[in-house]
Amino acid sequence: MSTLTKIKHRGKRHRLDRPELLAPAGNLEKLKFAVHYGADAVYIGGQHYGLRSNADNFSLEEMKEGVRFAEKYGAKVFVATNIYAHNEDLAGIEDYLKGLEEAGIAAIIAADPIIVDTAMRVAPKLEVHLSTQQSILNWQAVQFWKEEGLPRVVLARETSLEEIAEIKSNVDIEIEAFIHGAMCSSYSGRCVLSNHFTDRDSNRGGCSQSCRWKYDLFVDQDMVNAEDEHKFTMGSKDLCMIEHLPELIEVGVDSFKIEGRMKSVHYVATVVNAYRQAIDAYFDNPEGYELKQEWIDEINKSANRPLNTGFFFQTPGAGEHIYEPEEKAAPFDFAGVVLEYDHASGMALVQQRNHFKPGQEVEFFGPGGTFFKQIVGEITDEARTVLDAARHPMQTIRMKVDYPLKPMDMMRKKVR
């Protein structure tokens, strides 16, 4: 019996009407693009209490603007408050949580029990979702947190599809699972490499990604393969489950989470767009659903490492880690954002994000499958001066395009 067939015969389960597509947003621009390209919800970090201290992160005013934008699309905003707090970290936590509630934030993602308890006490309109940092892998732990009043648990990345099925058959609760993005070399939430090597606390927002460094191997002071400097990393391949959405849906995962608050706006838009199309296609016709190669191709155009299915089907072995220099399958650079399109002239106003020039092939894409390639023709600046290249970041460029576009459509170029 296949995994999918086994899952269909499980007991009753609580679930949303259809899975929520939950996207990362490291800043306000990324939030807007994630929502515009199809995210049902986004998770962000504030300037305190989160695990991505190197992201741009959001002020309270930016959160309010993000919530207003998301509401126009019927989307929600969650805030990560997922540090493990030391005594000094807790100063001001009550006021911070009250501020999130007042800003219209739908939920926080928390790991430390004191932050969970404080939020439920001082900001009752905020849902509290249990962070993956708690490394939850079994239904009895999920049941414990349900009894504490939490409506959702974000499972550890190490949870298998069969384990999710068992959790859903035993506990009536929303389950959120990572379905795309970077994996941790340690058990989720239990890494101290960064602390040891750099004195930057992984669980207080300072992870230096030590597992991605290049290492040499020594035996009794002698370097193994001395001619190969910096032989290997300890980093894992990235997770990608777009080829297995039916299994994830049937097992009862309520929220499909994409990792990457530090990733680019191009990455966020591209990955969200592909998953959005795949999810919608499944629910439009579950029996006739077919995976489209174009969705996989799109994901491979975003900046990611080699891909695998993580722990969903089996425990990853040596082949699921990265030892050699990483090489993207089809690397593309984000080249521009469409600001305006004039139907009468076929001219687009594009905000440049990376160097491009006439004679170069580019791709345009947008939400829902908008896509075409073309060769760049004459380009001008806003003063209508003809340019031999778009060299300056954020410069506004006018160019003729082959097909209609909309604001927030994107342009990219192949780098090789």
How does pLDDT run across 96-121, given as a tens digit for each residue? 999 999 999 999 999 999 999 999 99
pLDDT of 370: 92
Residue 386 and residue 242 share a domain: no
Q: Is the pLDDT of residue 246 over 80?
A: yes
Query: Does 346 lie in the same domain as 272?
Result: no
Same domain, 209 and 87: no
CA distances from 237 to 179, 212, 346, 351 (A): 13, 11, 42, 33
Q: Is residue 325 part of a domain?
A: no
- Residue 130 CA to residue 399 CA, distance in Å, equals 48
Q: What is the pLDDT of residue 227?
A: 61
Query: Do 274 and 148 share a structural domain?
Result: yes
- Asked whether residue 186 carries a pLDDT value surpassing 60, the answer given is yes
What does the pLDDT look like over 37-86, one tens digit per residue? Answer: 999 999 999 977 765 555 567 999 999 999 999 999 999 999 999 888 88
CA angle (403, 39, 149) in 5-degree steps: 175
For the record, the structure tokens of 189 come out as 């939430």
- pLDDT of 310-326, one tens digit each? 999 998 887 787 776 66
Are 139 and 71 within one domain?
Answer: yes
Q: Is residue 188 included in any domain, yes or no?
A: no
Task: Indicate whether 69 and 34 sit together in one domain.
Answer: yes
Quick one: 264 and 171 in the same domain?
Answer: yes
Would 400 be classed as within a structural domain? yes
337 and 310 belong to one structural domain: no
The pTM for the full model equals 0.89
Supply the DSSP symbol for 27. S
In this predicted structure, the answer to whether residue 341 has a pLDDT above a threshold of 70 is: yes
Question: Exposed, middle or buried, 136 (CB in 10 Å: 0-12/13-18/19+)?
Answer: buried
- Answer yes or no: do 45 and 121 share one domain: yes
E-only strand ranges, 66-200: 76-81, 107-110, 127-130, 152-154, 174-181
pLDDT tens sequence across 190-233:
777 777 778 776 665 667 777 777 777 777 766 666 565 556 66
pLDDT beyond 70 at 274? yes
For the segment 392-416, the average pLDDT, to the nearest whole number, is: 95
Match 């340690």 to its residue by tokens: 186
Measured CA to CA, the distance from residue 325 to residue 147 in angstroms comes to: 47
Tell me how far CA of residue 86 lies from CA of 43, 80, 83, 199, 203, in angstroms: 23, 17, 9, 15, 10
Q: What would the pLDDT profile of 58-70 be if each residue is shown by its tens digit?
A: 999 999 999 999 9
- 64 class by beta-carbon count within 10 Å (0-12 exposed, 13-18 middle, 19+ buried): middle
Where does a domain end: 275, 294, 320? 320
Residue range 160-188: average pLDDT? 92
Q: Most confidently modeled of 257-261, 305-309, 324-328, 348-352?
A: 348-352
Residue 329, CA distances (Å) to 117, 299, 369 in order = 45, 10, 21
Q: Are 339 and 327 in contact (CB under 8 A)?
A: no
Stretch (H or E) spanning 115: helix 113-122
Gap between the Cα atoms of 150 and 173, Å rounded: 8
- The predicted pLDDT at position 183 comes to 83
The answer to the question of residue 228 being in a domain is no
Which of 335-367 are b and which e, b meaning 16 or more Cβ less than 10 Å from the residue's Cβ? Answer: bbbbeebeeeeeebbbebbbebeeeeebbbbbb
pLDDT at 10: 41
58 membership: H or E segment, kind and range? none
Proportion of the chain above pLDDT 90, given as a percent? 68
Query: Cβ atoms within 10 A of the Cβ of 327, count?
Result: 8
**Tokens 């993000």, residue located:** 66
Least confident range from 166-175, 251-260, 303-312: namely: 303-312
For residue 381, the enclosing domain spans: 332-414
Do 105 and 218 fall into the same domain?
no
CA–CA distances in Å: residue 269 to residues 31, 244, 404: 10, 20, 19
Task: Select from 73, 85, 67 the least CA-distant residue to 37.
Answer: 73
211 and 360 share a domain? no
Q: How confident is the prediction for the chain on average, in pLDDT?
A: 88
Give me the mean pLDDT over the 88-97 stretch. 92
3-class SS of residue 339: strand
Using left for φ > 0, alpha for ψ between -120 and 50, and beta otherwise, residue 364 falls in beta
What's the CA gap between 362 and 265, in Å, rounded? 18
- Residue 107 maps to a domain: yes
Give 267's contacts (C-beta < 8 A, 6+ positions apart): 260, 302, 303, 304
- Short-list 284, 265, 310, 316, CA closest to 132: 310
Strands 386-387 and 255-258, sheet pairing: unpaired
Note whether residue 297 is domain-resident: yes
Verify that 120 and 156 share a domain, yes or no: yes
Structure confidence at residue 268 (pLDDT): 96
- The count of structural domains within the chain is 3
Helices (H), 199-242: none
At how many degrees (to 10) do helices 265-284 and 28-36 cross?
Answer: 20
The predicted pLDDT at position 228 comes to 59
Give the 3-state secondary structure of residue 275: helix
